[in-house]
Structure 1
Amino acid sequence: MRKVNFRKDTSGSVAPIFGILAVGALIVVGSALDFNRAYSEQRRLAFASDSAALAAALAADNKIAKAETSFLANYSDASVTPQVVIDGGKVRVTAARSVDTTLLKLAGIYELPVEASSTATIGSVAQTPTCVLLLEDSEIGLTANSDAKMQATCGIHVNSSNAEAIFANSNSTVVASSVCVKGQAHKNSGGTIQPAAKEGCTKQSDPLVSLPEPAAATMPCNFTDFTVNGGFQSMSPGVYCGKTEVNALGSAKMQPGVYVFRGEFVVNSLSSVEGNGVMLFFQGSAARLNVNSASRFQASAPTTGTHKGILIYQSRDPRTLSAPPFIINSNSLSKYEGAIYAPNGILEVNSLSTFAGNASAAYTVIIARKMTLNSFGEFKVSSDYEGTTPLHPDLRQLTHPTIARLTQ
């Protein structure tokens, strides 16, 4: 697993505390914008470093050249040259640069250094986790468009027999420890898949096909059109009917337990939702999660019981085949720790979505019918199953053979 270092800047002087209040306020606002830009650049470096380390580890020869080519394919600034070190069975890629500031210059800080380091291990063939399984049989299973990026420290498996079962288009990138597809993978207009997809793979069965629906799914509504309009509000386990919505400047705390949604659960811009030990069950043709731009959604799955390790569960009822996609929209800072299980659903990541908070999730497992990434959408998942949120035991069988993996 890569290590990312946001280095402390030491080159600028500290502005005097005293001064005009308006200028001080401007610096505070500007610092948030500048640090956000630096953090975004750091994540771009990390993605490119991860991709480069895996590409070099899987290459039979010219490993340094393969790492550099992969890095530049995922990081467009040619002024940044990655440092590649081959050490026995390990490949380490490090990259650093400085990000110019804007309003922080008023405080004498002219740049913010950022750095990323990734290590991939080369070893014998071993069974390692598959963390993304797409169940669609005949249509495109995984679509990446318009500079979208998908990165998994584990395997991706697509069951579709389509000639374009995986479609990487318009400078999009799909990176994993292994990519396996029953049909074929298609790349167009600069699309990248690393490593190259193995085609003709056997279909992977749904490991959660026998997972029972929660008992609460048969209960009457406890809440109808539940809305948070600014301020803080606690949410209790139960059945939510109609539209559940957290609006701008609203903050909702989900208490541990099972939540049944029979309509849309919307997390709107500038709002926040968090909860530990929760399972969100979506029931019916209108039920979905919709996390909008500039919002924050952080949640972890239950640690005990029948549904331990299951964070999101979409009903298998055929009516859910017509449900709208589960959406993660632009710049949502989120953490999804546990399994996202939507056997009839589509997971859609759109426009500048960074899933930045998900970097703090020990693991995320995706089992869905389809997945789509659009317009600079970025989705990253990890596979550390030994953390505080246990993996559901039926997911232990979800593995794939690989010889290269990201490590510390």
Structure 2
Amino acid sequence: MLGIFNAAMKCCKRLVKDGGGNFAVTTALILPVLVVAAGGAVDASSAYLEKSRIQGALDSAVLAVAGVSDNTQRLTTAASFMPPASENPVANPLVLAANSDGSVTGTYTYEVENNFLNIIGIDNFRIVVTATAMSSGTSASSGSACIHVLGNVGQAVLINSGANVKSAACGIDVLSTSSPAFIMNSGSTISTPRFCVKGTNYIKNGGTLTNLQVGCAASADPYAGLLPEPPVPSTCTMSGAQSGTTFTLSPGVYCDVTFNGSPKLTFQSGLYIIKGTMIINSGAVVNAQGVTFYYPDVNSRILANGGLTFNASAPTSGTYAGLLMYEATSSAANNANKQQYIFNGSVGETLSGIIYLPNRQVTYNSTTNQTSTINMVVYSLIMNSSNWAVEPYAGSSPYTQSSVASVRLMN
């Protein structure tokens, strides 16, 4: 298409140079070609971008169903990742095939409407993409959850409009038998291989929730009594308000620390005991690799004020292997004092490790540009407007008791 446009431009330039009397007539003939060529290049570019988007959606879809054996469930789950029927005029655009090696291949056909080429009868581009995924190990559709909500309270899970959670192998287990055990509002999508609720009463005001099971055998706290509680030194490594653009922090005790401005924070590998509140202001960039954050009581926390870029991973060896963020649970008084914890307004977040906050009423507002790999335990959970891509943490840890499926794309 671009070659036609360039050839037409060269022709026009020769006519101008020759100064022929037929220039106006010739221009009138060539101008529509120029318009179609230029517009065609725009249509082709739009189609290419759409193909990339559809390919990414199909990759996620086959990953989500690689370990699912039921044909109806597999198709329903995969379709939830793809564009709604109102956006695609193709009838039955998604086809899934179970292969002899146990993998699943998806093929999706999509029509992109043209804005310029339709004037010459080319109304659309038809895009066909394929993807194949393989699952090994225990299928998450019937196996372990990686998000556990422990509170036996009404509205233990609240899914608000705008929540968008997708996973190929991470199930969600809710232990509440109260009424309602969870509430889901319209404009939200939770697409996971397992959403298991011990109770049977819930309120669903709309939205998309795949693989809901009620009256289900939701699993109990997988880490209860297993995690080590380190001694807390009386001396603080850092406290109070801190000003600057760049901080490199060492393991230690951090007492009611505020980082002013929008600094870059690098946490060196090791154990960080957070006493009180660590405030990280909007716009900060946080990098914490091989790090464990420990809260000695329910009033301790890290509070981000939105607009944060946060990348953190747990240690891969030693006493705290696999532990990214956790709290003390040995005190009955502490356990009886549930407190709010907010994962607030990240513009980009990647977490890897165990997050153990069984005494926290967690609110999740963050956005992930990449997939976080976590095993999370909370008391209750509110999912607000957020994009959350999550898979089970599969790193080495002495506290991980069960394994889940491993899924991968195949070339």
Q: Give the TM-score of the pair, scaled to structure 2.
A: 0.69
In structure 2, the partner of 1:204 is 220
* C-alpha separation in 2, matches of 1:68 and 1:285: 40
In structure 2, the partner of 1:379 is 388
Q: Secondary structure at the match of 1:66?
A: helix
Alignment of 1:87 onto 2:102: no
Superposition RMSD in Å = 4.0
Q: Which amino acid aligns with 2:80?
A: S
Shift of 1:214: 1.7
* C-alpha separation in 2, matches of 1:189 and 1:225: 45
In structure 2, the partner of 1:224 is 239
Q: Which amino acid aligns with 1:280?
A: F
In structure 2, the partner of 1:247 is 261
Q: Which amino acid aligns with 1:132?
A: I
Change (3 A) 1:307 1:42: farther
User: Among residues 152, 156, 159, which one is paired with 2:175 in the alignment?
Assistant: 159
Q: Secondary structure at the match of 2:392?
A: coil
1:164-223 C-alpha deviation (Å, 9 max, x unpaired): 3232222222222222221136352322221122423154233242312122x2433221
Q: Which amino acid aligns with 2:390?
A: V
Change (3 A) 1:69 1:285: closer
Q: Secondary structure at the match of 1:325?
A: strand
Shift of 1:56: 9.7
* C-alpha separation in 1, matches of 2:322 and 2:350: 14
* C-alpha separation in 1, matches of 2:361 and 2:218: 22
Change (3 A) 1:224 1:169: same
Change (3 A) 1:175 1:94: same
Shift of 1:245: 2.8
2:173/2:218 contact within 8 Å kept: no
Change (3 A) 1:261 1:50: same
Alignment of 1:355 onto 2:368: yes
Structure 2 gap ranges (5+): 7-47, 115-126
* C-alpha separation in 2, matches of 1:119 and 1:185: 35
Change (3 A) 1:295 1:92: same
Q: Which amino acid aligns with 2:383?
A: L
Which aligned pairs between 1:11-160 and structure 2 lie closer than 5 A? 46=56, 50=60, 54=64, 58=68, 60=70, 66=76, 70-71=80-81, 78-79=87-88, 83-88=94-99, 89=102, 90-92=104-106, 119=133, 128-152=143-167, 153-160=169-176
Which aligned pairs between 1:280-299 and structure 2 lie closer than 5 A? 280-299=293-312
1:311/1:338 contact within 8 Å kept: yes
Shift of 1:336: 1.0
Structure 1 gap ranges (5+): 1-11, 14-37, 101-112
Shift of 1:342: 0.5
In structure 2, the partner of 1:392 is 397
1:70-101 C-alpha deviation (Å, 9 max, x unpaired): 346x7586148654331335242558798x9x
* C-alpha separation in 2, matches of 1:279 and 1:287: 14
Change (3 A) 1:364 1:189: same
Change (3 A) 1:270 1:314: same
Q: Secondary structure at the match of 2:212?
A: coil
Shift of 1:339: 0.7
1:225/1:243 contact within 8 Å kept: yes
* C-alpha separation in 2, matches of 1:349 and 1:97: 36
Q: Secondary structure at the match of 2:367?
A: coil
Alignment of 1:308 onto 2:318: no
Shift of 1:297: 0.9
Shift of 1:254: 0.6
* C-alpha separation in 2, matches of 1:397 and 1:51: 25
Shift of 1:369: 1.1
Q: Secondary structure at the match of 2:95?
A: strand
- Name which one, 1 or 2, has greater alpha-carbon Rg: 2
* C-alpha separation in 1, matches of 2:380 and 2:250: 31
In structure 2, the partner of 1:35 is none
Q: Give the TM-score of the pair, scaled to structure 1.
A: 0.70
Tell me the percent identity.
23
1:159/1:181 contact within 8 Å kept: yes
